[in-house]
């Protein structure tokens, strides 16, 4: 496209690339109207590519643009050019530019500003639409188009992969064909690059089929170069990994293992309350009143905390079962804090002895779980790869959902997640 026509002062201030300002009008209400035209003196026919400077018709087209010290109405004096190529089937065509592509009704710089406002910050789509004078469907179409461009982009090498489940919305009920009520829990699986924190993908479901479906879409070279995968203690996720990630080792997230131990302590405390009081715990019971203290790590307790803990175990633990469960939980924390496999195996022997001595169903179940996941625990001990970045991405997804007051369209929700993650990585 050839250019001519010098720029004026108003053109410099308005600063719309490839355009110059012809007139600026302010009405009695103070609203401003800017009339612009393209700097091009000739254009190429989109069918045959032959340049022409012959203008067939000029029309005024309203174009949405960014606010310039308040709302501004932009009118583009748009040329419709003639094509004199005899072999071309097109007799005329409308000009288009980089800022206003074919059939566009808003400038490219406005689209970029809207996408930045929605993706960089955690903001609701309708709020951004109101700010820029657009409708919600217009902004949603911009997001959908940007998500398609992002999905078609290059696949980047991932060394450490995190997999975590994410609840899409609340539980729903519906009637099936037989008239029975069925419960649907809308879950998604989040895939995260643990080195950068970037969200690589979001798929529906929370089982091994969802994981296999997403991994099968990745290139073979990418799957063979993944070295370690961090997951929660999910047997379905674990079973889906090896066939598609043959060179990857599985690391289990230590946070969830400690949570299982805390759950065992809570289960023992509740059982003891029913056995010795024939009721659930109340505020007058020291073990119930300080139930959160039992879940604290021993290394985080102050002198006052240790005194409270001793008081609880002396007064409200006649069978010493709560204290035994608490000791097993702390031994597990010591095991996970080791830095070598040899030290971890020694701590495992001590933990197993504690469990045998305690002889409680809750702690025995915990030990069986640890035995089943011992290989991933050793991988965690040697690599220290956790799902922390996946949990952070999960929290960001929840913030996006809360800001939008929930999403009924999963495609739009997934697009928001992917675009926000890409913007964070680019920024």
Please state the rounded mean pLDDT for residues 193-219.
93
Q: Is the pLDDT of residue 399 over 50?
A: yes
Q: Is the pLDDT of residue 290 over 70?
A: yes
Angstrom distance (rounded) from CA 403 to CA 400 = 5
pLDDT of residue 181: 86
pLDDT digits (tens, 9 = 90+) for 314-329: 999 999 999 999 999 9
Give the helix, strand, coil percentages of the chain, each rounded to 5.
Answer: 45, 20, 35
Q: Is the pLDDT of residue 60 over 50?
A: yes
Residue scoring higher pLDDT (184 or 331): 331
Q: Is the pLDDT of residue 5 over 70?
A: no
pLDDT digits (tens, 9 = 90+) for 238-263: 999 988 999 999 999 999 999 999 99
- Tell me the pLDDT band of 1, cut-offs 50, 70 and 90: very low
- Reported pTM: 0.84
* Strand order across the beta sheet in which 51-52 lies: 2-3, 40-44, 51-52
User: How crowded is residue 320: how many other Cβ atoms within 10 Å of its Cβ?
Assistant: 12
**183, 171 in Cβ contact below 8 A?**
yes
pLDDT of residue 67: 86
CATH number among 3.40.190.10, 3.30.420.10, 3.10.129.10, 3.30.1330.10, domain 160-253+386-416: 3.30.420.10
What is the residue-averaged pLDDT of the chain?
92
Please state the rounded mean pLDDT for residues 146-154.
91
Return the minimum-mean-pLDDT range out of 132-141, 164-173, 289-298: 164-173
Q: Is the pLDDT of residue 176 over 90?
A: no
pLDDT of residue 278: 94
pLDDT of residue 255: 95
Q: What are phi and psi of 196, to 5 degrees?
A: -110, -20
Please state the rounded mean pLDDT for residues 72-91.
91
Residue scoring higher pLDDT (322 or 206): 322
Angstrom distance (rounded) from CA 224 to CA 195 = 17
Angstrom distance (rounded) from CA 419 to CA 140 = 12
Q: What are phi and psi of 40, to 5 degrees?
A: -70, 140
Please state the rounded mean pLDDT for residues 260-289.
95
pLDDT of residue 7: 61
pLDDT of residue 184: 74
> Tokens 């012809």 sit at which residue?
22
CA atoms within 13 A on the CB side of 373: 27
User: How crowded is residue 80: how many other Cβ atoms within 10 Å of its Cβ?
Assistant: 14
For residue 66, is it left (φ>0), alpha (ψ between -120 and 50) or beta?
beta
Q: Which helix (H) or strand (E) holds 60?
A: strand 55-63
What is the SS3 assignment for 279? coil
Q: Is the pLDDT of residue 3 over 60?
A: no
DSSP 170: -
pLDDT of residue 70: 79
Query: Tokens at residue 227, please?
Result: 């070295």
| Residue 71 burial by Cβ neighbours in a 10 Å radius (0-12, 13-18, 19+) | exposed
The domain limits of the chain are 1-104, 106-153, 160-253+386-416, 254-383
The C-alpha angle 306, 309, 315, rounded to 5 degrees, equals: 140
């Amino acid at each position: 496209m050839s250019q001519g026509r010098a720029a004026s002062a108003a053109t410099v201030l308005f600063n719309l690339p490839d355009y110059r300002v012809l007139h600026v009008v302010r009405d009695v209400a103070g609203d401003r109207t800017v009339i612009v035209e393209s700097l091009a003196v000739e254009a190429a026919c989109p069918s045959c590519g032959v340049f022409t400077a012959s203008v067939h018709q000029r029309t005024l087209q309203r174009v949405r643009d960014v606010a310039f010290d308040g709302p501004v109405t932009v009118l583009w004096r748009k040329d419709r050019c003639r094509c004199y190529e005899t072999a071309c089937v097109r007799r005329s065509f409308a000009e288009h530019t980089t800022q206003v592509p074919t059939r566009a009704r808003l400038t490219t710089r406005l689209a970029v500003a809207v996408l930045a406002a929605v993706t960089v910050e955690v903001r609701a789509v309708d709020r951004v639409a109101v700010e820029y004078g657009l409708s919600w469907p217009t902004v949603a179409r911009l997001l959908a188009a940007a998500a398609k461009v992002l999905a078609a982009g290059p696949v980047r090498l991932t060394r450490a992969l995190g997999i975590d489940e994410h609840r899409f919305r609340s539980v729903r009920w519906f009637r099936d064909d037989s008239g029975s009520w069925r419960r649907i829990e809308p879950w998604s699986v989040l895939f995260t690059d643990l080195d950068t924190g970037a969200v690589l993908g979001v798929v529906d479901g929370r089982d091994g089929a969802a994981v296999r479906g997403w991994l099968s879409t990745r290139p073979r070279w990418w799957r063979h170069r993944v070295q370690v995968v961090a997951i929660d203690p999910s047997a379905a996720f674990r079973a889906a990994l090896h066939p598609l990630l043959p060179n990857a080792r599985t690391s289990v997230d230590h946070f969830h293992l400690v949570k299982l131990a805390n759950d065992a302590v809570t289960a023992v405390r509740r059982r003891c309350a029913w056995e010795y009081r024939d009721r659930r715990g109340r505020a007058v019971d020291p073990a119930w009143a300080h139930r959160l203290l039992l879940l604290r790590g021993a290394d985080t307790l102050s002198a006052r905390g240790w005194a409270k803990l001793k008081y609880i175990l002396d007064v409200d633990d006649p069978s010493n079962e709560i204290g035994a469960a608490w000791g097993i939980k702390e031994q597990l924390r010591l095991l996970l804090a080791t830095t070598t496999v040899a030290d971890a195996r020694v701590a495992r022997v001590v933990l197993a002895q504690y469990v045998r001595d305690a002889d409680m169903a809750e702690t025995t179940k915990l030990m069986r779980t640890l035995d089943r996941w011992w290989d991933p625990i050793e991988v965690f001990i040697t690599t220290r790869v956790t799902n922390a970045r996946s949990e952070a991405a999960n929290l960001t997804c929840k913030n996006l959902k809360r800001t939008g007051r929930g999403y009924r369209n999963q495609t739009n929700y997934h697009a928001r997640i992917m675009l926000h993650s890409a913007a964070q990585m680019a920024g």
